[in-house]
Chain A
Amino acid sequence: MPSARTYAGRKSSWQRTNSGAQLLVGVILIAVVGLFGLTRKSMFGIELIWPYAAMWGAVGWASVGLSLRPMVILVAFGLAQDVSFNAPLGSFVLVNLSTYALSAALRETFDVDSDPVRALFAAAAAMGCGTFVLWVLASSTADQVVQLVPLLAVYAVTLILFVPVAGAFRLGDGSGGTL
């Protein structure tokens, strides 16, 4: 996870960027990853596990607390996921918002941003909550208890890939300011 400020105390170019532009970068990243994931991908005959990219936004954007614009974007992404996964409308909205809410709550309760390990654990907990909500919703709407292993694989991939892209979802100047 990238630190909020550079070692010299000066703000990086990303931190000086307008928060709307920062949000836009995250939106584009999620949209591109999501669109490429619409069809199955395989490499050397092995099917690739594609991440739920909207969860990156839910965890990353929660660093500044609850905010309206990220919420609206997460709702929009959730609806798009519902259509592409043929899920009952609102399912992925709940998944994204629960991840977002828990991530924001963890950051307000604990000093998460000062320690990368703690930040990773907070992200893991928030994404785990979202995955659990997804499993509960899928199992209750399908006629079977949905297999947990594929969901856990997607969860792990989403979490691992979040580490290198987390910087693209950091809003404001990194000091916990609001949008």
Chain B
Amino acid sequence: MARQPNIGSRKRPMRGLGLAVIFAVTFGVVLFQTAPRFAASLNPIRTTTSDQLAARSGSGWIARLSGRVARDERVSELEAEVRDLARWRAAAISMAERMETYEAILNVQGEPPARGVTARIVSETGGPFAETLLANAGKSQGVEEGFIAVNDAGLVGRVIQLGERSSRILKVSDFNSRVPVFGEASGIRGIMYGGREGWGTITDRPEADAFLSGERILTSGEGGVFPRGLLAGLAERRGEDWRVRFAMREGQGGFVRLVPPASIPRPEDIPIIEGVDEEEAESTSIAQAASGARIAGQ
């Protein structure tokens, strides 16, 4: 089976040396990233590449076959229409500002504006590293780091990395993801983390009682990262552990909605209203806090 070494290979020591050099440099780059500060310095490279990936996905002959070209033409027509409507928008903004002034004078508590962006999932790779997905909306679309990602079935994750037109979402099924949750029926609280076999695990339960098998597991809103009441999955007992079947896996369509995280106002953030009696000031503060919570819940 053994044969004489290839004579040609002796003539090419430089290629072997080149491979060794590339190995050494690459290994150095990987080691370099073990320090979080240095790893963060490489983020611009990642985000720029992600932007390109998000911008180019679905182009070319695939786009023609899937009818994307026709849709793009339609988009151009609609853009022209949008320019026409921009004039009306300016008028509407002016009227809205006037309306806001009137509402402030009358102290009207209206519905909070809906916030958030719907983005298409460009890349969704599990693999041995972090469980993340890439969505085609970034800073340009108003997305910020920490935004919550949900699909039509429930909680997906949160934005951990941001480009101009792309955002990287850490899924709740990742081992490093931690989500404060509670059982909808039992009210038992805990911390859910992702991991092996694609199931979540609930740990750090302050109460001794058990969840109800099959009950819905919702985000508790503790810690202020995730808003309260988002569906994370269904509880299931496996041995001694309580596991969560992720609701997001039932989602269809390949889209996620990116919404701002919960922001419960601190007492010092609430403006002090002078010239009103104590009872009125208290009721105003409660109304503003409730308004803040409603905005966070959107």
Contact = CB atoms under 8 A, between A and B. Distances in A.
Our verdict on whether A and B bind, yes or no, reads yes
B6 A138 contact: no
Contact of A84 (B16, B18, B125): B125
Interface in A140-176: 141-144, 146-147, 150-151, 176
Contacts of A151: 128
B22 interface: yes
The A interface, classified by DSSP as helix, strand, loop or mixed, is helix
Interface stretch (A1-9, A15-23, A108-116): A108-116
B16 A66 contact: yes
Interface residues of A, number: 46
A141 B26 CA distance: 15
Interface in B1-20: 1-3, 5-6, 8-9, 12, 15-16, 18-19
A142 B196 CA distance: 13
A111 B42 CA distance: 43
Most A-side CB within 10 Å, residue of B1, B9, B16, B30:
B30
The bracket for how many chain B residues form the interface is: 35 or more
B2 A109 contact: yes
B34 interface: yes
Contacts of A118: 1
Contacts of B224: none
Interface stretch (B44-52, B78-86, B279-287): B44-52
B22 A39 contact: no
A153 B196 CA distance: 15
24 contacts: A38-B57, A39-B121, A65-B6, A68-B15, A71-B22, A86-B168, A87-B129, A88-B34, A89-B30, A90-B33, A91-B30, A100-B19, A101-B23, A110-B2, A111-B1, A135-B128, A138-B127, A138-B128, A141-B33, A142-B129, A142-B176, A143-B175, A147-B196, A176-B6
Query: Which 9 residue pairs across A and B have the least CB separation, nearest first?
Result: A138-B128, A90-B29, A66-B15, A38-B123, A87-B129, A90-B26, A88-B33, A90-B30, A85-B127
Interface of B: 1-3, 5-6, 8-9, 12, 15-16, 18-19, 22-23, 26-27, 29-30, 33-34, 39, 42, 45-46, 49-50, 53, 57, 121-130, 132, 134, 168, 175-176, 195-197, 254
